[in-house]
């Protein structure tokens, strides 16, 4: 079975400050290769200072650190994908969030899905973003067993929380899911959380007290087997490109309009032209530093 893949929003709204790699700096053997094939072929991080280059959906990651496969309150899932890499800030955040998850009734911790590849970059499957070590997917399945075997981490499935194609939550939804997303959204390191529209509306209806955290909860396609956490660019990473912040407010009216569109889809525009296929990303489309990230020797 496949987990709902994370067709993450690209997050390219902010202007890009990094210069794209110039043709001269790209080894000839790499010029025509897709960036996802180059980054997907590297199994270890670069021996460089940790730094994110570029934007969430067009970038790479130097000096990545690995989320340990097991912790007292987390399990990294699908180890065969080798995507449990990120900035030190992401790993710290996930460990902190897992401790909060372990406090929830019925939860012993959290199951963590894809983060980034060892050197970030585009992936062969599943994501537009997750490229700079600042995105992570958290399973909706409550973490129960904190001693899963590698085989179990491949075969275990998460659970979907949606019904009506994401317009509503289903019977798997619990207040603990909301508490975990609220804890994540309340963390100053977090920029955005992506989840299906019905979950956001559910939280809008049941949130009490301070509603500021709802601002970071963003309705998006998919994201019913997991929610997706995106961190801000860490301090001191000048090559990391932030996404523009969400519009002010709790975003609940916007989420409701997503739900309305699911329930009553607007008629297709007869004049709409089909979107042209996106050209495959090559190194020339990534920040120049990504060439050296790929060329750097591996950490032992
Ligand atoms: Zn994701």
Contact yes or no for 161/169 (Cβ under 8 A): yes
CA of 28 to the centre of ligand 1 (A): 32
**Cα 295 from chain centroid (whole Å):** 25
Task: Name the residue ranges covered by the structural domains of the chain.
Answer: 50-263
8 vs 163, higher pLDDT: 163
pLDDT band at 3 (very low <50, low <70, confident <90, very high): very low
Q: What is the pLDDT of residue 269?
A: 87
CA of 227 to the centre of ligand 1 (A): 7
CA of 127 to the centre of ligand 1 (A): 7
The closest of 149, 74, 147, 146 to 115, measured between CA atoms, is 74
85-86/65-66 β-pairing:
antiparallel
pLDDT band at 144 (very low <50, low <70, confident <90, very high): very high
Whether the predicted pLDDT of 126 surpasses 90 = no
Q: pTM above 0.85?
A: yes
Handedness of CA 46, 50, 54, 57 (dihedral sign): positive
**CATH topology assigned to domain 50-263:** Muramoyl-pentapeptide Carboxypeptidase; domain 2 (3.30.1380)
CA of 289 to the centre of ligand 1 (A): 24
CA of 129 to the centre of ligand 1 (A): 7
Mean pLDDT of 250-266: 97
Mean pLDDT of 216-241: 97
pLDDT band at 22 (very low <50, low <70, confident <90, very high): low
CA of 270 to the centre of ligand 1 (A): 32
CA of 7 to the centre of ligand 1 (A): 7
Q: What is the pLDDT of residue 23?
A: 58
Mean pLDDT of 238-243: 97
pLDDT band at 24 (very low <50, low <70, confident <90, very high): low
How far is Cα 120 from Cα 39, in angstroms, rounded to an integer?
7
**Cα 185 from chain centroid (whole Å):** 14
Q: What is the pLDDT of residue 274?
A: 85
Q: What is the pLDDT of residue 4?
A: 43
CA of 117 to the centre of ligand 1 (A): 13
pLDDT band at 6 (very low <50, low <70, confident <90, very high): low
Q: What is the pLDDT of residue 12?
A: 44
Q: How many CA atoms, within 13 angstroms, populate the side-chain half-sphere of residue 62? A: 21
CA of 27 to the centre of ligand 1 (A): 31
CA dihedral 276, 280, 284, 286 (to 10 degrees): 100
Classify residue 273 by burial, with Cβ atoms within 10 Å: 0-12, 13-18, 19+: exposed
CA of 23 to the centre of ligand 1 (A): 31
């Amino acid at each position: 079975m496949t987990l709902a893949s994370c067709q993450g929003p690209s997050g390219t709204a902010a202007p890009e400050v990094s210069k794209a790699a110039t043709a001269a700096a790209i080894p000839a053997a790499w010029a025509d290769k897709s960036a996802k094939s180059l980054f997907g072929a590297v199994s270890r991080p670069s021996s460089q200072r940790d730094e994110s280059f570029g934007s969430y959906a067009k970038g790479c990651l130097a000096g990545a650190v690995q989320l340990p496969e097991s912790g007292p309150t987390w399990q990294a899932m699908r180890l065969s994908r080798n995507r449990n890499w990120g900035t030190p800030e992401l790993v710290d955040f996930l460990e902190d969030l897992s401790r909060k998850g372990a406090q929830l009734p019925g939860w012993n911790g959290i199951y963590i899905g894809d983060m980034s590849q060892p050197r970030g970059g585009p992936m062969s499957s599943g994501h537009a973003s997750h490229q700079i070590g600042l995105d992570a997917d958290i399973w909706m399945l409550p973490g129960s067993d904190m001693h899963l075997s590698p085989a179990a981490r491949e075969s275990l499935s998460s659970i979907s929380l949606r019904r009506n194609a994401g317009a509503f939550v289903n019977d798997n939804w619990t207040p603990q899911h909301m508490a975990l997303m609220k804890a994540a959204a309340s963390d100053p390191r977090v920029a955005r959380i992506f989840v299906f529209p019905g979950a956001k509306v559910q939280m809008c209806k049941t949130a009490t007290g301070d509603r500021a955290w709802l601002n970071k909860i963003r309705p998006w396609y998919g994201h019913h087997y997991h929610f997706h956490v995106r961190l801000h660019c860490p301090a001191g990473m000048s090559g990391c490109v932030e996404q523009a912040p969400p519009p002010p407010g709790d975003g609940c009216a916007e989420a409701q309009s997503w739900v309305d569109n699911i329930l009553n889809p607007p008629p297709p525009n007869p004049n709409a032209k089909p979107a042209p296929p996106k050209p495959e990303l090559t190194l020339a489309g990534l920040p120049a530093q990504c060439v050296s990230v790929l060329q750097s020797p591996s950490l032992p």
